[in-house]
Chains A and B, each alone.
Chain A
Amino acid sequence: GQQLNQSPQSMFIQEGEDVSMNCTSSSIFNTWLWYKQDPGEGPVLLIALYKAGELTSNGRLTAQFGITRKDSFLNISASIPSDVGIYFCAGQLILGNEKLTFGTGTRLTIIP
C-alpha cells in the first residue's frame, strides 16, 4: 500500500535542541496527523491539521499542513528526554471516515 516518506529516518540530538522532521506524499491528503509511538505501545495523536497552510501548536510541538496538501512538517522545541520515540505522520483523504496512511517514521534519540 501507499506510504508517506518521512525524513530524516532517525535523529540523534542533545537535550534542549530543537527538532524538525517532515513528511511528503505523491498524492493529496485533506487531513494530516502527527503521532508519537513509544516502544511496545500504540501511537498517540500529537497534532491534527485540517486545512492547507494551517499552522498548529501543542505545547512545544508545532506542525504545518503544506499548501500543496502533499506535505507536512513537525517541529519540537527544546527537546526533553520524554520526547524519545518514533514519530509518524499520517494522511487521511476523507475527514474521519477514511483510513489513515502512515509515514515511514522518524526515530528520535536524545544523547545524554
Chain B
Amino acid sequence: GAVVSQHPSRVICKSGTSVKIECRSLDFQATTMFWYRQFPKQSLMLMATSNEGSKATYEQGVEKDKFLINHASLTLSTLTVTSAHPEDSSFYICSARTSGGYEQFFGPGTRLTVL
C-alpha cells in the first residue's frame, strides 16, 4: 500500500513551453502533497506544499507564477512548469501524506530536460 506515482517519468521540451507533471496517490487519499526539486548530485529541496482544495504554499525563492500547483482531488496534484528554461531542468519529486498519517510517501520522480 501507500503507492505514489508520477507521470511522465521523463520529459524533454523546448525552451519557452509549459510542462505538466502529475502526482497521484494510488491506494490512499492524500490531503497534503509536497513538491521537491533535486538538481544533479544535490539534495531534495522543497518547492511547495499542496493542500487539497486550497492554494499551495510556496517556499521562499520559488516563483508561484512559474510553478503552478493544482491539488483538485484527494489523489491528484499537478505541477506545471510554465515557460520552461534550461535552468529548470531538474528531477522533480512529489510526496503524499495520508489523511491523519505522519509518513510522506514519495513518488519515483520526473526528470525534466529543457532544451
Contact = CB atoms under 8 A, between A and B. Distances in A.
Contacts, number: 56
Interface residues of B, number: 27
B93 A42 contact: yes
Contacts of B49: 99
Interface stretch (B13-21, B38-46, B68-76, B78-86): B38-46
Interface string A78-112: 00000000001000000111011111110000000
Contacts of A35: 106
Interface of A: 1, 3, 31, 35, 40-45, 48, 88, 95-97, 99-105
22 contacts: A1-B46, A31-B102, A35-B106, A40-B109, A40-B111, A41-B109, A42-B4, A42-B108, A45-B105, A95-B102, A96-B101, A97-B32, A97-B97, A99-B49, A99-B59, A100-B34, A100-B44, A100-B46, A100-B95, A101-B46, A104-B42, A105-B42
